[in-house]
Structure 1
């Protein structure tokens, strides 16, 4: 009886196994098999997923191995040691999450404060543009009132009784001035009123999940519904699984891979599919470059297009030696500076009351900005007003040149050479044709030194469509000819020398080009070519 009581008491102290033995991976299955290699239980569904070529046996035939596994776990309290270690890891992760949350809070607050500063700057810019616009209208109205009063006085001097005695030319001149005054006044009075259209661009960012190569405690970062169990022994490391997941995530971030890029010229790689025209390229290393596409500032790193836009509404850029980028926008009075931390701040003010900034270049730390505006008179005759500014890398203006000429001729790109400024012009507002001039900039006017007269026996202003221009160390000018699928070089007097690359090299519609360290970057649709250039 005493023996029975002892056995009964032992049975009460022994933990009872749950019934049924439900698989922890498959809710509808029960444990049926024991893996001697992994020392773990499984169901038949587990058998089809893991433990291939392992030493397996039915659960009912593995009692000795199972009891041996529990014996090893209880020996010298190994289970306590392992569970304490796991508890420490979980506690460390808990503390790390608190620190990470505080860090992200600070980042979000910093981003919000920067957004507030940008909003204040945007308000100041809009109010400045509004003030300039209305001041311009007020000046025009005052000038027209003065013209009307002067004309009233001038015509009032005529005596109707003595009209036959007046010189006919004098009468015609006065009548013409009066008709012009009516026409000009009508244009000013019916000029479209300025409006304001707000843009809702207030996103400060998004929370993202990042992977790391730490211990299994990182699994706690997954959603609570995720199953984080593994069919392995406690001492096994699962770093390889997280490493693979990280690799997959990085592949998603970079849309085009550079794994297949070789060092053999020409180097060719694809950019984003939504890019069909690149306006400008600024290489910053052998594999990296800034580009402007769809008026957005984008970046190529290691021959791959980075995800994300660095600035919007961009018309031209130059890169500074400190890693910053100057951003020119046609409709803004300030040249902006993009800092390495991606913050956009003001760099230097340019006057946009009379002219608008069109293009910018830099050489030997001298920045040149070409401002331009076209006006038309009552005879539909255009007059181009140009204002060229030289400044240093601190934004201090060192030289100015202001001049006008008859005709519509808009600057698209400039290069500052020792001999003068090489300017790519669009010749009229109706077509996409271009011309190139080398001008000597002076205080009051800019004398033309040379003009590109074209190739193929045709006038360039009737046949030349250029989307990119750059210069080499010898002051030769390199051009992309959009219509003839080619890139060719001009000498210092803008005379054609030779074709460098054309359709035989894969070019179709070459656009922006840039030369850096004997590497010629050529954008062609959503492709980028890099040719080796031998200085001529």
Structure 2
């Protein structure tokens, strides 16, 4: 009898729910309604949201329907099929989560590696900028010291009793120089010292959950819906691979999960070269932050907006950069164009000079467009009294050094080619037009003609006699075929159309230009060399057109 009672009580316990009848959609509500259409339970808040116009009843009044539903699940074994399906989905998601973790780990490590590399580059750039600034300051101090010593020597030989005998202009010059040196010394002494301010306003990235695969059921992942991870290096961190002391070497660095960028990329960019560089004859960008330059007939390289110490070649007059990373080097005293390989070995590329005639034709400038190399060879005879004769030889060749076309022509004038640009309509040439001065002219030559007849000519735009004021150190061509000119005397860079007519001024002294020289367009950026510094401006040829 007692055993029957215990068995009956045990069966009754199975039917009891130990969990409160809380609504799975509204945690503060309890189940009070049963939907006969959906065969589901609900609270009062669910009625207007999901079960509108359904046949409803109180949970207590649906005892038979609920038990019938459970009976069907048990007899037909439907619950096992449904739960097994759910279990399989969870297992699949678990495997997918492991794969996602590995993938995200790789992305995070890649981003961190980029950050480390960028910090190293920033350190090298900052140290280079500091070295250049200190060298410039030291040179100024040394020059002032030399000037003072020379003036002391000059004054020491003067005798007070013989002052009336000395030339008055000499005395005025000495007193004037003393005042100049005094003012200059005050400026040098009060010159601001170099300083460093570390900036740590950057983050590696964010890890977030995408909700594209989630259903409308807000309870699907209640514990994960607000997961967000951000690594901010401006705050305290326990990350082992980053030392807080290293952050002091960082300067204006900001990164994201996609790429690492410098805040220095806010245009225009301006950076200093060495103090002894007075003029950059040629600049050839090879990336957003790297470029080849020619100064003092030396081939130098800019890496990450910083001039490197190495000299890659001597006695260089012009260059072009090939797609394979090699550089063609032109030297006006040699007939051979040389090729600088990536391993810094110099080899012969092509013979372009006519050396066995009088006078010999030597290469003076070179350009590259659409895998066509153009060299301009030149020689001159005569003198100022009897006049000059310029002999010109323009050569077209492919990137293998094979000549495809050439043109020989002469003109009874002294005009030395300084830069050549290959256009669809012809060859645009910057000439030094005067043997005794640095005046320049620009001509567009008909490339299809054996004589290379002149199509258009530009000599300058400022003043009543612009041809007497035009001094240019660099030209380049944008994608639209416009010619960009640096005006050395008027501190400006302006643009010409395809007929060499002035269109508009791009940049001038208001943008910080003083003596603009070599220029080049690269990826919608205009590089301008100005003395011992370089500017990089945003430039969109489509807006100009």
Change (3 A) 1:449 1:349: same
Runs of 4+ in 1 over 4 A off after TM superposition: none
CA distance in 1, matches of 2:331, 2:444: 24
Q: Unpaired segments of 5 or more residues in structure 1?
A: 1-238, 249-258
Distance 1:308 1:444, change over 3 A: same
Residues 298-337 of structure 1: matches in 2 within 5 Å? 298-337=300-339
The equivalent residue for 1:209 is none
Contact kept? 2:476, 2:483, Cα under 8 Å: yes
The match for 1:437 among 440, 443, 457 is 443
Question: Counterpart of 2:127?
Answer: none
Relative to 1, partners in 2 of residues 1:374 and 1:264: Cα closer, same or farther, differing over 3 Å? same
Would you say 1:521 and 2:523 are equivalent positions? no
Q: 2:440–2:459: 8 Å Cα contact kept in structure 1?
A: no
Task: Choose the corresponding residue for 1:504, options 494, 510, 513.
Answer: 510
- CA 1:350/1:453 → structure 2, altered by over 3 Å: closer, same or farther? closer
Offset of 1:377 from its aligned partner? 6.3
Aligned-residue offset at 1:485? 0.4
- Quick one: which of 276, 283, 286 aligns to 1:284? 286
CA distance in 2, matches of 1:497, 1:413: 21
Aligned residue for 1:446, secondary structure, equals: coil
Q: Is the 8 A contact 1:261 1:267 kept in 2?
A: no
Q: Secondary structure at the match of 1:337?
A: strand
- 1:427 is matched with 433
Structure-to-structure mapping, 1:14-29, within 5 angstroms: none
Which one of the candidate residues 335, 338, 341 is aligned to 1:339?
Answer: 341
**After superposition, what is the alpha-carbon deviation per residue over 1:399-447, rounded to whole angstroms, capped at 9, x for unaligned?**
0100001110110001000000000000111000100000002463111
Is 1:272 the counterpart of 2:278 in the alignment?
no
Aligned CA-pair RMSD: 2.4
Aligned equivalents of 1:291 and 1:261: distance in 2?
24
Deviation at 1:511, TM superposition (A): 0.6
Residue deviations 1:168-190 (CA, integer Å, cap 9, x gap): xxxxxxxxxxxxxxxxxxxxxxx
Unpaired segments ≥5 residues, structure 2: 1-240, 251-260
Counterparts of residues 468-507 of structure 1 (less than 5 Å): 468-507=474-513
Does structure 1 residue 463 correspond to structure 2 residue 474?
no
1:447 match: 453
- Is the 1:261–1:268 Cα contact (8 Å) retained in structure 2? no
1:428–1:293: structure 2 CA closer, same or farther, 3 Å change rule?
Answer: same
1:25-40 to 2 correspondences below 5 Å: none
Work out the CA distance in 1 between the residues paired with 2:465 and 2:496. Answer: 16
* CA displacement 1:303-355 (0-9 Å, x = unmatched): 01111100000000000000000000000111000000111111001224221
SS for the counterpart of 2:467 is helix
CA distance in 1, matches of 2:281, 2:263: 24
Residues 300 and 419 (structure 1), Cα distance of their counterparts in 2 relative to 1, 3 Å cut: same
The 1:405/1:266 distance shift into structure 2, 3 A limit, reads same
Kindly tell me the number of residue pairs found equivalent between the two proteins. Answer: 287
Aligned partners of 2:506, 2:353: CA distance in 1, in Å? Answer: 40
Q: Which residue of 2 aligns with 1:32?
A: none
After TM superposition, give the deviation of residue 378 of structure 1 in Å: 9.6
Following superposition, the deviation at residue 379 of structure 1 comes to: 5.1
Distance 1:378 1:473 in 2: 41
Q: What are the residue-to-residue correspondences of 1:162-201 with 2, within 5 Å?
A: none
SS in structure 2 at match of 1:290: strand
Corresponding residue for 1:376?
382
1:13-48 residue CA offsets vs partner (Å, 9 max, x unmatched): xxxxxxxxxxxxxxxxxxxxxxxxxxxxxxxxxxxx
Q: Does 1:358 align with 2:372?
A: no
Residue 516 of structure 1: how far off its partner (Å): 0.7
Provide TM-score, normalisation by structure 1.
0.51
- The structural deviation recorded for 1:273 is 1.4
**CA 265–377 in structure 1, closer or farther in 2 if over 3 Å, else same:** closer
